[in-house]
């Protein structure tokens, strides 16, 4: 889908107008941003917004997220283990110390 | 005030133009008052100000943002609201936040073009490789020229690959700058929302302060009986409550004479 983010009041209200008059291309709406259908029509409305507000509209293309394809097993294991920790207020960095679970810094470094 | 049209001049605090031929256009008079150019028409009067934008021309069928107008009437009296100080401070900060633009379109376009060229060149190299291979399989054919073309094509391919990598990096850098710009935009948007909330609260405060006076004024508007919510009624009451030095252009028949209108509204009046 196309993620449309607006950064000024006028761009935000233009986005609101698109949502009102072209409901069919707007998959979801979050106030000042929205997901448009990844169709030519979705792109058309996204680009129209950017044409009108060149510096205040960001358009990104989203991809479906499949953690079983994109995320290594060790990260998923760490998630499960951390959610089952004994003390609810143990921060992850303390939880991971001295275990095989990846530490915060190395996860931050590795791109998906 | 003084109105001049095609050599004719009208003066005074109350001017009746209703019988004048050709007829005057209220919108053009207001435009001329605000300093706009109107051929053959000149209006000299006091500064219109904010309130005049809302009630400078009162005509049946008009629309009126009544709370904004009423708050403007309060302001015209020199009143202020407790939110003003913070509102001004936020406006100053908004003014200081520079959000100069970052153009990433050029970088995106360049990347798309080099990617296209790279694809075309790859196909070309593959085709030439096929030709060279075919010539090699048939001894006795002259393959030298085809080899040369292949070599050149491969060199171009590697140049294009380098160019594409450079384009990718340039786009990456532009996106980083744009992200910083978006952070500032975010900050400004939050400030603008806060300023808008304060302005709304200030308007509410001013309207509340004027409420009783406003209700009495609405009741006393000539011809208001049965039309207390009519924009003309409300606009007339707002003018009476506020202070205007620029004339109100009246295109409604609520007053018997223009003098009566001037007295009741306590403002200069042009009646059409």
Instruction: Report the residue from B189, B193, B196 with minimal CB separation from A7.
Output: B189
Q: What per-residue confidence (pLDDT) applies to B69?
A: 96
Across the range B115-138, mean pLDDT stands at 90
Taking CB atoms and an 8 Å limit, are B101 and A5 in contact across chains? Answer: no
Structural domain boundaries enclosing A39 = 2-61
Best interface-test mutation with A: which of B182, B183, B184, B191 has the largest number of A CBs within 10 A? Answer: B182
Q: Are residues A101 and A75 in the same domain?
A: yes
Question: Which of chain B's residues have a Cβ under 8 Å away from the Cβ of A5?
Answer: 182
Same domain, A57 and A75: no
Residue pair B232/B217 in contact by the 8 Å Cβ criterion? no
Could you tell me the two tokens for A18? 């698109």
CA angle (B171 as vertex; B166, B175 as ends), nearest 5: 150
* Torsion of Cα atoms, B182 then B183 then B187 then B193, to 10°: 40
Total domains present in chain A:
2
Beta bridge partners of residue B41, listed in sequence order? B5
Confidence of residue B228 (pLDDT cuts 50, 70, 90): confident
Closest CA to B132 of B117, B154, B103, B115: B154
**Any CB–CB contact under 8 A between A61 and chain B?**
no
- Provide ipTM, 2 decimals: 0.72
- The neighbouring-strand residues paired with A2 are A36, A61
pLDDT at B163 over 90: yes
B→A interface, C-beta within 8 Å: 99, 101-102, 178, 181-182, 185-186, 188-189, 192-193, 196
Cα separation, B270 vs B272, whole angstroms: 7
Cα separation of B119 and B3, whole Å? 72
- All residues at 6 or more sequence positions from B269 whose CB lies less than 8 Å from its CB, including other chains: B13, B14, B15, B247, B248, B250, B258, B261, B262
Which whole-number Å values give the CA distances from B192 to B37, B185, B189, B250, in the listed order?
A: 33, 10, 5, 36
**Chain B residues with beta carbon closer than 8 angstroms to that of A3:** none
CA atoms within 13 A on the CB side of B35: 5
Q: Do A58 and B189 touch (CB under 8 A)?
A: no
In chain B, the percentage of residues whose pLDDT exceeds 90 is 72
| Chain B residues with CB-CB distance to A9 below 8 A | 189, 192-193, 196
Chain A residues with beta carbon closer than 8 angstroms to that of B101: 54-55
Task: Quickly count: other Cβ atoms within 10 Å of residue B211's Cβ.
Answer: 11
Whether the Cβ atoms of residue B250 and residue B235 lie closer than 8 Å to each other = no
Sequence ranges of the domains in chain B: 2-81+204-271, 105-189
Distance CA B210, CA B218 (A): 12
Extended strands (E) in chain B: 2-5, 8-11, 14-16, 41-44, 57-59, 248-251, 269-271
Q: B96 vs B86, B89, B99, B184, B233, CA distance in Å?
A: 15, 11, 9, 11, 42
User: B144 falls in which pLDDT band (50, 70, 90)?
Assistant: confident
CA angle, B205 as apex, B199 and B211 as ends, to 5°?
Answer: 130
For residues A9 and A55, state if they share a domain.
yes
- 8 Å CB contact of B182 and A58: yes
Residues A34 and A71 in one domain: no
Does A8 touch chain B if contact means CB atoms closer than 8 Å?
yes
The C-alpha of B176 sits at a distance from chain A's nearest C-alpha, in angstroms, of 13
Cα B239 to Cα A23, A110, B3, B264: the distances in Å are 43, 67, 21, 9
- Provide the 8-state DSSP code for A7: -
Is residue B121 over pLDDT 90?
A: yes
Model pLDDT, residue B240: 96
- Cα–Cα distance measured from residue A45 to residue A22, given in angstroms and rounded to the nearest whole number: 9
For chain A, 112 residues long, give each residue's pLDDT as a single digit of tens.
Answer: 999 999 999 999 999 999 999 989 999 999 999 999 999 999 999 999 999 998 899 999 999 999 999 999 999 999 999 999 988 899 999 999 999 999 999 999 999 9
Q: Does A12 touch chain B (CB under 8 A)?
A: yes
What does the pLDDT average to over B205-232? 89
Q: What pLDDT is attached to residue B35?
A: 85
CB contact under 8 A, A12 and B189: yes
pLDDT-derived band of residue B117, with 50, 70 and 90 as boundaries?
Answer: very high
- Asked whether residue A52 falls in the same domain as residue A12, the answer is yes
Predicted pLDDT at B146: 83
Mean pLDDT of all residues belonging to chain B: 91
Residue range B110-131: mean pLDDT, rounded: 93
| A6 & A57 share domain | yes
Mutate to test the interface with B, among A14, A30, A56 (most CBs of B within 10 A): A56
Alpha-carbon distances, residue A43 vs A13, B103, B213 (angstroms): 18, 19, 54
Q: Is the distance from CB of B3 to CB of B228 less than 8 angstroms?
A: no
Q: Tens digits of per-residue pLDDT, B42-91?
A: 999 999 999 999 999 999 889 999 999 999 999 999 999 999 999 999 99
Instruction: Say if CB B2 and CB B9 are below 8 A apart.
Output: yes
Please indicate if any CB of chain B lies within 8 Å of the CB of A54: yes
Chain A, nearest residue to B179 by Cα: A58
Q: How far is B182 from chain A (nearest CA, A)?
A: 7
Whether residues A71 and A102 fall in one domain? yes
What backbone torsions phi and psi does residue B5 show, to the nearest 5 degrees? -135, 125
**Residue in A with minimal Cα distance to B186:** A7
**Angle, CA A37 vertex, CA A32 and CA A42 arms, to 5°:** 80
Residue B99 to residue A55, Cβ atoms within 8 A: yes
Instruction: Give residue-wise pLDDT tens across range B240-265.
Output: 999 999 999 999 989 999 999 999 99
Instruction: Report residue B164 as tokens.
Output: 């594409």
What is the H or E stretch that residue B248 is in? strand B248-251
Q: Is B252 helix (H, G, I), strand (E, B) or coil?
A: coil
d(CA B148, CA B150): 5
């Amino acid at each position: 889908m196309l993620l449309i983010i607006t950064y000024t009041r006028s761009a935000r209200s233009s986005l609101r107008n698109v949502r009102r008059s072209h409901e069919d291309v707007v998959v979801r709406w979050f106030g000042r941003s929205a997901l448009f259908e990844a169709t030519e029509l979705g792109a058309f409305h996204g680009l129209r917004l950017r044409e009108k507000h060149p510096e205040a509209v960001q358009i990104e293309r989203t991809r479906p997220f499949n953690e079983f394809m994109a995320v290594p097993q060790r990260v998923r294991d760490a998630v499960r283990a951390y959610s089952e920790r004994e003390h609810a207020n143990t921060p992850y960095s303390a939880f991971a110390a001295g275990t095989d679970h990846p530490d915060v810094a190395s996860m931050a470094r590795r791109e998906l | 005030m003084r109105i001049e049209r095609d050599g004719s001049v009208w003066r005074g605090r109350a001017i009746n133009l209703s019988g004048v031929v050709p007829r005057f256009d209220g919108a053009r008079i207001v435009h001329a008052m605000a300093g706009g150019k109107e051929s053959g028409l000149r209006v000299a009067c006091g500064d219109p100000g904010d309130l005049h934008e809302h009630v400078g021309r009162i005509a049946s069928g008009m629309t009126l943002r009544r709370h904004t107008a009423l708050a403007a009437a309060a302001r015209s009296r020199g009143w202020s609201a407790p939110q003003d100080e913070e509102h001004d401070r936020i406006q100053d900060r908004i003014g200081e936040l520079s959000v100069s633009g970052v153009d990433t379109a050029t970088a995106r376009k360049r990347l798309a073009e080099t990617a296209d060229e790279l694809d075309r060149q790859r196909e070309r190299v593959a085709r030439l490789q096929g030709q060279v291979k075919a010539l090699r399989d048939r001894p006795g054919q002259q393959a030298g020229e085809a080899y040369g073309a292949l070599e050149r094509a491969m060199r171009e391919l590697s140049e294009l690959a380098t160019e594409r990598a450079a384009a990718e990096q340039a786009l990456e850098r532009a996106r980083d700058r744009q992200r910083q710009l978006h952070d500032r935009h975010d900050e400004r948007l939050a400030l603008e929302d806060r300023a808008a909330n304060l302005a709304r609260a200030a308007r509410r405060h001013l309207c509340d302060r004027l409420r009783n006076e406003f209700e009495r004024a609405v009741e006393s508007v000539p011809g208001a009986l049965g039309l207390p919510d009519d924009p003309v009624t409300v606009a007339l009451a707002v003018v009476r409550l506020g202070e205007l030095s620029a004339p109100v252009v009246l295109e409604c028949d609520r007053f018997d004479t223009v003098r009566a209108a001037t007295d009741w509204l306590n403002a200069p009046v042009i009646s059409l």
